[in-house]
Structure 1
Amino acid sequence: MHIGFVGAGLMGGGLARNLIRAGKDVLVYDLSAEAVARAVGAGPTGRAATDLADLAGCDLVFTSLPLPAHVEGVMLGENGLLQRLKPGAIHVELSTIDPQTSARLEAAAKARGCAFLQCTLGKTPAHAEKAEEPMFVGGDRAVFDSLAEIWPIIGSQAYYMGGVAASCAVKLISNMVGMTNLAVLAEGLRIGEKAGIERGALIALLQDTGARSFQMDVRGPWIAADDYANRFGLDLALKDVRLGCEMAAAWDMKIPAMSAALETFRRASAAGLGREDCNAVYKVTE
């Protein structure tokens, strides 16, 4: 099986390397030559693509890109990769995108005689590097089953979700809940400071209460140490929460808590914190 991989950044790079380490023939394309070099350096079966057209003969193509518009730009249109793929090829979309974009990609693949799966990822780039990502996959069940050998190479567990909308939704919900928790944690730490409680001490105390969360465990200590190095960028978090809120709005849902978190992240981005970790939302919490 010839595999193409478009997007070898923080998340995609780890998955591409897992495939190469497993001895799979992987052709990697990214606008960053450095990202491509890091990916193909994982083993002798990794090769660099200099143009998207180089992936035309692949049986399986993964895309892992920052925004829905980037995925559509790569795959769709007269010059899109989908027009170059052979009938029967499979496109697996790994990015965090909205259900509407995923549905358009699925329809375009079907019209071309190709297959499409949406595969959203549940954890972090560090987990991706170690093949510890839970994967939430939507699309045709037979196509999902045909990749049974691939899923354990790139992640820890592949959950079949049914349609592509469900696959998109579970990741967006995860990030909306997580980032709302993070915004609330930032507010709680500020309240604690007003009460005279040092950040690190408050986090330690809260570990034994109902306030404990994944974000507190992971990002709480970073906030306490004023460590805002980018592990999951604030602008990417903003994008995910925005897409999730738009998804809910399309279904006529009102989500006031998550909508408030969205505004907090927008304020942090406007303050120039977009390239810092999402925990930098603490800096604009008053």
Structure 2
Amino acid sequence: MQIGFIGVGLMGGPLARNLIRAGKNVLVFDLSEEAVKRTLAVGTTGKAAAAVADLASCDIVFTSLPLPQHIKGVVLGETGLYAKMRKGALHIELSTIDPGAANEMRAAAEKAGLGYLQCTLGKTPAHAEKAEEPMFIGGEKALYAANEDLFKVIGIPSYVGTVDASCAVKLISNMIGMTNLAVLAEGIKVGDKAGLDRTLLLELLSDTGARSFQMDVRGPWIAADDYNPRFGLDLALKDVRLGLEMARAWDLDLKAMEAALVYYKNASAEGYGKEDCNAVAKVVGK
């Protein structure tokens, strides 16, 4: 089996490396030569592709790219990958995208005689590197079943049903997480005004209903004014925006998350987009 992998950055790179570590034949493409070199360094069964078109003969092609338009630009249209792939091949899409974009690609893949699975990811690049990444997979169940063992090589797969469901799980997770982070930042800001030491405040809150994943992970970073990028603020903004676009399309008015979106937009506008998403703390309370 020949596997293709397009996009080997923070999230795609670890997953591609897991395939190579397992001895799978993987053809890798990325605009960053450094990312490709880092991915191929873990084994001998990976090779670099000179162009996206080189992956047309692959049995399975994974994509892990920043935005929906990037993925659609690669696979759709007369010059896209779908027009060149062999009948019966499979596209597995790993990015955080909206259901509309995912279903557009699913329909185009089916028209071209290809399979399509949406596989959104639940945790961090560190989890992905250890093959501990939760994977929320949607699409035709028979396609999932036929490739379940491959998914287990690169992460912890869960079949969630439809393509819509796969997209929604990740977007819901990120909307809740980023809204929690904004609320945490607000709480820390109030603590500052009260004269509370940030580290002490977090310690006291950790045994209350205020505790959350964001408090445990990013609370200490905010307390130390550490905004080094682990998950960039602009990426968080993109995910919250896509999630709310999804919710609005389903006639939902999510007021708390809409308020959080404004914070992330403001933080990006003030130049914090390349910092960690906890840099939202720099604009709360203004």
TM-score range, shorter-chain basis? over 0.9
Q: CA deviation at 1:206?
A: 0.6
CA distance in 2, matches of 1:11, 1:266: 24
User: Cα deviations across residues 144-203 of structure 1 (Å, max 9, x unaligned)?
Assistant: 0010221111102x1111110000000000000000000000000000000110111111
Q: CA deviation at 1:42?
A: 1.2
Q: Aligned runs of 1:1-286 on 2, under 5 Å?
A: 1-156=1-156, 158-286=157-285
User: Cα deviations across residues 20-78 of structure 1 (Å, max 9, x unaligned)?
Assistant: 00000000000111111111111000110110111011000000000001110111111
CA distance in 1, matches of 2:200, 2:73: 48
CA distance in 2, matches of 1:41, 1:140: 34
Amino acid at match of 2:88: G
How many residues are aligned here? 285
Q: CA RMSD in A?
A: 0.6
SS of aligned partner of 2:57 = coil
Q: CA deviation at 1:84?
A: 1.1
CA distance in 2, matches of 1:188, 1:64: 35
Q: What's the TM-score, normalizing by structure 2?
A: 0.99
5+ residue gaps in structure 2? none
5+ residue gaps in structure 1? none
CA distance in 2, matches of 1:226, 1:200: 12
CA distance in 2, matches of 1:186, 1:174: 18
CA distance in 2, matches of 1:53, 1:71: 14
Amino acid at match of 2:240: V
CA distance in 2, matches of 1:123, 1:196: 34
